[in-house]
């Protein structure tokens, strides 16, 4: 009987996903120069949520057309809006594996930095038919995982009139172009994936379909060109904890009490 009691009172493993979060942003541009008006656009069409409770949100922007002396940002409607984003999670306090996910799609992208004058080409030109980013986190305590992906259709990047990338589709994760176009301080990353968490109690992913970083670049009479252009950013994350189990020490104490009662 004692042996049976010990087996019955042994700890049982339980777990719970306690939180989920996700967000999607279509366009977020923040670039400044010492001698020109800043180009600040976004974050546009942001969808986000935090669970519990479970949520599902969407957002869209019909068209984008922003222009200053420093440059311009545009996105055009393909019949379903220029930008579409979504974020959702099913974390609701119940047990079992859970999910948090997000998506961002940008149609008809056009970005220009330091527009050319007369016969001088634009310093930077970016166009694409469609850019899509997805981040997803799933699982339960002890087996949490996050993934990211990006689909880029007909991407074209031109620097000072020279085609750097033309027609690229579906880049591999973390495709980095360092010192792009031979210009120090200009970095371009495609399908950038930034994971976080230990896979046991937490997991997360940030995916940037396209990120351009500028670090104090001088272009002709324009100096101190600094900032980031982020197109199609998604994030997701989950947190989980083990639930308290029946204590083995408490079980042994109960067995001792049963012994005393029998005697």
Task: Please write the tens of the pLDDT for every residue from 153-164.
Answer: 999 998 888 877
| Count of beta carbons in the 10 Å neighbourhood of residue 59 | 19
Q: At what angle do helices 2-9 and 248-262 cross, to 10 degrees?
A: 150
Strand partners, 46: none
Mean pLDDT of the chain: 85
Over residues 206-231, the mean pLDDT reads 90
Q: Is 227 domain-assigned?
A: yes
Q: Is 157 domain-assigned?
A: yes
Q: Is 80 domain-assigned?
A: yes
pLDDT band of residue 15 (cuts 50, 70, 90) is: confident
More confident residue, 129 or 219: 129
Q: What is the reported pLDDT for 8?
A: 42
Over residues 96-109, the mean pLDDT reads 96
Backbone angles phi, psi at 140, to 5 degrees: -135, 175
Domain span including residue 208? 14-235
Q: Is 222 domain-assigned?
A: yes
pLDDT digits (tens, 9 = 90+) for 231-247: 999 999 999 998 764 44
Q: What is the CA radius of gyration of the chain?
A: 26
Q: Is 219 domain-assigned?
A: yes
Over residues 190-206, the mean pLDDT reads 97
CA dist 78 and 153 (Å) reads 14
Q: Is 263 domain-assigned?
A: no
pLDDT band of residue 14 (cuts 50, 70, 90) is: low
Q: Is 123 domain-assigned?
A: yes
Q: What is the reported pLDDT for 29?
A: 96
Q: What is the largest CA-CA distance in the chain?
A: 104
Q: What is the reported pLDDT for 164?
A: 77
The number of folded domains in the chain is 1
String of DSSP letters for 77-125: -SSS-SEEEEEEE---S-SS-EEEEEEEEEEEEEEEES---TTPPPSEE
Q: Is 42 domain-assigned?
A: yes
What share of the chain has pLDDT > 70, as a percent? Answer: 83
């Amino acid at each position: 009987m004692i042996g049976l009691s010990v087996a019955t009172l042994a700890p049982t493993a339980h777990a719970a996903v306690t939180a989920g979060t996700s967000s999607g942003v279509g366009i977020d541009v923040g670039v400044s120069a010492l001698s020109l008006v800043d180009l600040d656009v976004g974050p546009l069409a942001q969808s986000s949520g935090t669970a519990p409770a479970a949520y599902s949100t969407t957002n869209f922007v019909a068209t984008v057309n922003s222009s200053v002396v420093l440059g311009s940002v545009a996105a055009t409607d393909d019949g379903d809006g220029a930008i579409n984003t979504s974020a959702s999670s099913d974390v609701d306090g119940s047990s079992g594996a859970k999910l948090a996910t997000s998506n961002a799609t940008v149609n008809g992208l056009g970005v220009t930095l330091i527009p050319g004058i007369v016969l001088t080409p634009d310093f930077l030109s970016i166009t694409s038919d469609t850019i899509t980013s997805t981040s997803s986190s799933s699982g339960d305590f002890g087996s949490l995982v996050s993934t990211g992906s990006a689909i880029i259709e007909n991407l074209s990047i031109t620097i000072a009139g020279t085609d750097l990338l033309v027609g690229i589709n579906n880049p591999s994760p973390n495709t980095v172009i360092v010192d792009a176009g031979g210009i120090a301080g200009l970095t371009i990353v495609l399908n950038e994936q930034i994971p976080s968490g230990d896979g046991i109690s937490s997991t997360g992913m940030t995916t940037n379909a396209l990120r351009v970083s500028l670090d104090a670049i001088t272009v002709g009479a324009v100096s101190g060109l600094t900032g980031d252009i982020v197109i199609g950013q998604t994030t997701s994350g989950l947190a989980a904890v083990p639930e308290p189990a029946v204590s083995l020490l408490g079980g042994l104490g109960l067995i001792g009490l049963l012994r005393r009662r029998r005697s």
